[in-house]
Structure 1
Amino acid sequence: MKKWFTMCMTLLILGAVLAACSGSEGSEENQTNKEAGKDIEIVFQSWVTPNLTVDYYDQLIQRFESENPGIKVKRIQPPANEGSPDSYLKALLASGDFPDVVQNATIQMFVDADALLEVPIDDDIKNINNYEAEMIDGKLYNISAIRQPQSLIFYNKKLFEEAGIEATPKTWAELETAAEKLKAKNITPILTAGDWTAGFTFSVMTSSNIYKENRNWYADRFDNKVKFTDADWIESASYYTDLVKKGYFNKGALSIDYTAAEQEFLKGKGAMYPMGSWFSAAEATADKDFEVGVFATPTKDGTQYLLGGENAGGYAVAKNSNHPEEALKFAKFMMLDPEAHKGYLQADALFSNLKIPLKWDMSPLQTEIYELLLNNPPMVGHLNNKVGKVPVAGIQDQYNKVAQSILLGDTDVESNMKTLDEYWDKNNK
C-alpha cells in the first residue's frame, strides 16, 4: 500500500495523471492521440443564467469546433442558485478534476490555490482597455473585455405613475418616500430573493454610499484602516434594515430565487428591482404591459455613483491543463472573437471594453443604462469584486448571510455588520 501511495504521489507531482475533468486519459495517452490525429478534449465550466443559456453556449462551442478541427469541448456547469461557481470549482480542484477553462470564478482565490495559467500579454490582450488593472502580482490570469454596471434599480413606470411618483429617487429619503407611496397603494415597493440575490441587493443598496467616498475600501480593510462596523457602514446598513422593517420588500423573499424574483418583476408584481445590467436582456424580450426605467441606487446625499465590474467575469485556463494551448485558444475565442464578443454583450446586456469597442443593437432600457455609465466616474466593484483590492475569498457568502438575517427580522445592525469583520479577519491570509 505504501509503495502504491508513493507512486501515485510521484505521478501527481509530475502532473502526468492530472486529467482536466475527463479523468480518463493521462497526458501521455492524450499526446499519443494528438499525434495520431485523434480529437483532443478540453473541459469548459460554463456559467448558465436565464440570459446565458445552455443553447447559447452550445452554439458557440459548435462554431469553435467547426473552425478548429481536432478540438472537442465538453461543457459542464455548477448547480443552480449559486452567486458564483467558486464552491463548485473548489470541489473539482480538490478532487483533481479542475476544468481546462473556467468562467466567472473569483480569480484571486484560484491564483492563491496555484490553479490558473498565466495568460501571455499578446496583441489580443493589448486590445483590451485597462487589462493591467486585473493583473495579480504583475501577471494576468483572466481574459475579459466587458463593462458591467451593477448598482442599478429597475422600476415599473406604470406602478410609479399609479403611486404618484413623478421623479426617480436620488437620495435615501426620496427612495423611502417613493416606497411609502407605493405601499399605500398596496404595491410591493422592492423585490429581492433569498439566494445570492439577497446579498447582492444589500450590497448595491449600501455600498455606493461608502465607495463613492473611498474607492480603495477593500485595500484599506486589509490594512485595518476601515471596518464594516465603522459609522458609515452602520449608517448605510441601518438605512437598508429600516426599509425591511417598514415592509418595503416582498413578503416571502427568502423562499424564492433569482429567476423567480426576475419573473415577479416582469409580471408587474413589484415596483422596483435592484439588479445588474444583465436584467435588461431579459426585459428586452419579455411580454409585458408596462415600460421599465432605471436609475442608480440612491445614496444619502444624492451623489450618483455606479458600482460594477470591468474586465471581470471572464475566462481563465487551468495551470495543469493537458492542453493549455487549445484551452487558451478556446478562452480567447469565447471572449475576443468579434462575433462571440458581440453576442455575449447582447445576451447579457454588457458593454464592450475593447479599445475599438464592438456595438450592438440596444433596447431603450439598455440605452438608458449606457447613458448612466457614460455620465458617471469609473466604477469600482463591490461584494466579491475589487474595491482597490480583491476582498478575502468567500466574502460574498457572508454578505448573503447578513442580508438573509435582516430579511428574517434580525434588526441588530451592529451585530450583523460585526460578522463581516469577523469573517474578514478569520479568512485574511
Structure 2
Amino acid sequence: MRKWFALGMGMMMVTGLAACGGNSNGNGGSSGNESTPAQTANSSESKGTDKETVKDIEIVFQSWVTPNLTVEYYDQLIQKFESANPGITIKRIQPPANEGSPDSYLKTLLASGDFPDVVQNATIQMFVDADALLEIPIDEDIKNINNYEAEMIDGKLYNISAIRQPQSLVFYNKKLFAEAGIASTPKSWAELEAAAEKLKAKNITPLLTAGDWTAGFTFSVMTSPSVYKDNKSWYADRFDNKVKFTDENWKEAAGYYANLVEKGYFNKGALSIDYTAVEQEFLKGKGAMYPMGSWFSAAEAVAEKDFEVGVFATPTKDGTQYLLGGENAGGYAVAKNTKHAEEALKFAKFMMLDPEAHKGFLQADALFSNLKEPLKWEMSPLQTEIYELLLNNPPMVGHMNNKVGRVPVAGIQDQYNKVAQNILLGDVDVEKGMQSLDEYWDKNNK
C-alpha cells in the first residue's frame, strides 16, 4: 500500500526526467542483450509491418495519483517514454480519490471488459485469482531486483517493483515536544501514553489521523508491530487457522489503541477529514504526532513551517523497535489479455527500472531502492533519519493488505478501516471489532 508526494518536488523532479534521454534500445532498465519471450515473439511478428500499423498502438495505463505522485509527474514520464518509442501512445487513466488502493476501480473495469493494459499499485493476488495478469518473464532486468522471488505467486511473477517502503513510522513536531517537556521519543506503549498525556496537558493535540483509508492505516501501524515482530508469517498462519484476530495479543493491541482514542489523544472530528487534509494539519503544527509511511517525508521536505520534524518507529508493547512496510510491492503489472504485450511490458519496465525514472520515483515518494546496485538520491534530513531506521532494523514484513508470510484475503484493508472508524466514533467493544476481522477473513477465504 502506498500514498504520496508534494507537488513541488514531484514537478521539479519530473522536469529533470523529461530532459533526460532514455536507453537507446528503449528497454527501460534492460541492457538490451536479452529479450523476453513476449518481446521475441512480438518482434518477429512485427517484421515487415509499416509505420501506420505501429502508430496504431495505444497502451492504457491506470496510474495512482496522489499528493506526491501527481498528474504532472506521470505525464512528463509518459512524454519521455513516447519520445523514445515512436508509434506507442500511452493513455493514462486514474481511479477516484480517497481510496486506499485502485482495487475497486480495477474490479469494475475488469467486469466491464475495459481492464487497462498496465496497472499500478493493485493488490496483485486479487487479480491473479481473477486470471487478469500476465506472467512477467524472469530476465536480467528482474534478476537485478533484490528478493523479487518473495513476490512470486505459485512460482510466477506478476508485478514489477524494486522499492523498499517503511510504513510503521510516527512523525513528530520537535517544537511541540519541547513545549511539553518531552526529552526523548517513546519506544513503548506506556511511554507513548505518557508523552500524549504531557501534550494534552499543554492543550496540544497529541495524535492526528483521518477518516478515509488513513483510519485503518493508523490503527494497523500502531497495533500490528507488537504482533508481527513475534510472528513474521502471521497471515500465513491465519490461513491455516493457527492464529486469529481475537487472540489475546491482537485484542490487547487493539485495546491499547482504543484507550488512546478514549482518553482524547486523537484529533476531534478525525472522520470528517481525509488524508490530504490531515497531512496539512500536521504541517501547520495542529498536532504533535502523525503516524504515517515514509512517503510523508517528501511532502515535509518542501513544506514551509516554523518547526523541525523528527521520526521514530511506532512503539511496541515491550519497547522493541520493529518496522513494518513493503518490499517490491505497489509496482506495475500487465494485463493478461492485452493486445500489445511487448509494448505494455516495455512501458511497465520503463516506469520502474529505467535509471532516471527509478531514481525520480524514489525521490518523489520518499522510497528506497531495492536494486542489487541501488540507486541513491539526495535525501532531506528527515529522509536520512528514516533510512537509518531502515538500516538499523530487522527485515520488514507487511501489514494491513501487504504480505505477512502470505498476502491476506482480498479487501481486508476495508475491514481494518471499519474497525478503526468505529473506534474513533467511540465504539470501545474491541472484541467485537476484532471478531469482525475474523468473520471477514473466513467469509472471503477462498
TM-score under structure 2 length normalisation: 0.89
CA–CA separation in structure 2 for the residues paired with 1:349 and 1:293 = 15
Match of 2:258 among 225, 241, 251: 241
Match of 1:130 among 142, 147, 150: 147
Post-superposition CA distance 1:63-109 (Å, at most 9, x none)? 00000000000000000000000000000000000000000000000
The aligned residue for residue 136 of structure 2 is: 119
Say if 2:228 is the partner of 1:206: no
Query: Which secondary structure state, in structure 1, belongs to the residue aligned with residue 55 of structure 2?
Result: coil
CA–CA separation in structure 1 for the residues paired with 2:311 and 2:232 = 24
Post-superposition CA distance 1:10-51 (Å, at most 9, x none)? xxxxxxxxxxxxxxxxxxxxx999763433100000000100
Using the TM superposition, give the Cα deviation of residue 399 of structure 1 relative to its aligned residue in structure 2, in angstroms.
0.1
CA–CA separation in structure 2 for the residues paired with 1:337 and 1:39 = 24
**Structure 1 counterpart of 2:150, one-letter code:** A
**Structure 1 counterpart of 2:243, one-letter code:** V
CA–CA separation in structure 1 for the residues paired with 2:111 and 2:433 = 32
The aligned residue for residue 293 of structure 1 is: 310
Post-superposition CA distance 1:194-241 (Å, at most 9, x none)? 000000000000000000000000000000000000000000000000
Say if 2:303 is the partner of 1:283: no
Map residues 3-402 of structure 1 onto 2, 5 A cutoff.
36-402=53-419
**Structure 2 counterpart of 1:296, one-letter code:** A
Structure 2 residue runs without a partner (length 5+): 1-47
**Structure 2 counterpart of 1:257, one-letter code:** D
- Asked if the contact 1:33–1:39 (Cα under 8 Å) also holds between the matched residues in 2, the reply is no
Post-superposition CA distance 1:221-273 (Å, at most 9, x none)? 00000000000000000000000000000000000000000000000000000
CA–CA separation in structure 2 for the residues paired with 1:385 and 1:346 = 22
- Asked if the contact 2:54–2:88 (Cα under 8 Å) also holds between the matched residues in 1, the reply is no
CA–CA separation in structure 2 for the residues paired with 1:52 and 1:79 = 14
**Structure 2 counterpart of 1:53, one-letter code:** T
CA RMSD of aligned residues (A): 1.1
C-alpha change, 1:245 and 1:64, in structure 2 (3 Å) is same
- Asked if the contact 1:34–1:40 (Cα under 8 Å) also holds between the matched residues in 2, the reply is no
Using the TM superposition, give the Cα deviation of residue 307 of structure 1 relative to its aligned residue in structure 2, in angstroms.
0.1
The aligned residue for residue 23 of structure 1 is: none
CA–CA separation in structure 1 for the residues paired with 2:309 and 2:321 = 20
**Structure 2 counterpart of 1:101, one-letter code:** V
The aligned residue for residue 433 of structure 2 is: 416
CA–CA separation in structure 1 for the residues paired with 2:330 and 2:199 = 35
**Structure 2 counterpart of 1:193, one-letter code:** A
Aligned-residue sequence identity (percent) comes to: 87
